Amino acid sequence: MSLKETILDELKSAMKNKKADRLQVLRSLKAKILEKEISERKGGESEISDEQVLDVLMKAGKQRKESIDSFEKGGREDLVEKEKSELAIIEEFLPKMMSEDEVRAAVRAQIEEMGASDMSDMGQVMGVMMGKLKGKAEGSTVSRVVKDELS
């Protein structure tokens, strides 16, 4: 079963069980996935891959995290809790993220393989690492670890 189908099944389940908050988040995800399909369409119907659905989910999760930061700075705890519960629902469909130690080990191996030695090599290392760790680690974490290892 594809990731999109899983989300649609969960949407149906949320409707049947009358889980309004969950239903709202899943409808939002469905809309974003359909939007992505339409943007990818070339001359007819278009099914997007699980990787593209994963990109949509990661973007939605990142938006929730940014909202949480903003609301915390503004002292809006009610909205922080709402965003956190939405993020938890989105994260159900995302693969488990790597720990910082796992990212550090992967970065060290890549730096060694490339022979990178200083900050001038950061762009090359980041390019390779983001390709390898896409969907497995946040870009900000990878960037911070690469900076630490190269400096």
Query: Where do the domains of the chain lie?
Result: 3-91, 100-150
The predicted structure's pLDDT at residue 149:
83
The predicted structure's pLDDT at residue 133:
82
The predicted structure's pLDDT at residue 44:
67
Topology, domain 3-91: Hypothetical Protein Yqey; Chain: A; domain1 (1.10.1510)
- Of 10, 65, 4, residue with least CA distance to 32: 4
Topology, domain 100-150: Arc Repressor Mutant, subunit A (1.10.10)
The predicted structure's pLDDT at residue 111:
85
Q: What is the pLDDT of residues 100-146, one digit of tens each?
A: 888 888 888 888 888 877 888 888 888 888 888 877 888 888 888 88
Tell me if domain 3-91 and domain 100-150 are identical in fold: no
Spatial separation of the C-alpha atoms in residues 130 and 123, rounded to whole Å? 10
24 compared with 114, residue with greater pLDDT: 24
The predicted structure's pLDDT at residue 17:
93
Q: What is the pLDDT of residues 44-102, one digit of tens each?
A: 667 788 888 888 998 999 899 999 999 999 999 999 999 999 999 998 988 888 888 88
Give pairs for 89-95: CB < 8 Å, separation 24+. Answer: 89/21, 89/22, 89/25, 89/26, 90/25, 90/29, 90/57, 90/60, 90/61, 90/64, 91/61, 93/3, 93/6, 93/7, 93/29, 93/57, 94/54, 94/57, 94/58, 94/61, 94/135, 95/54, 95/135, 95/136
The predicted structure's pLDDT at residue 15:
94
CA quadruple 23, 51, 144, 99: dihedral, nearest 10:
70
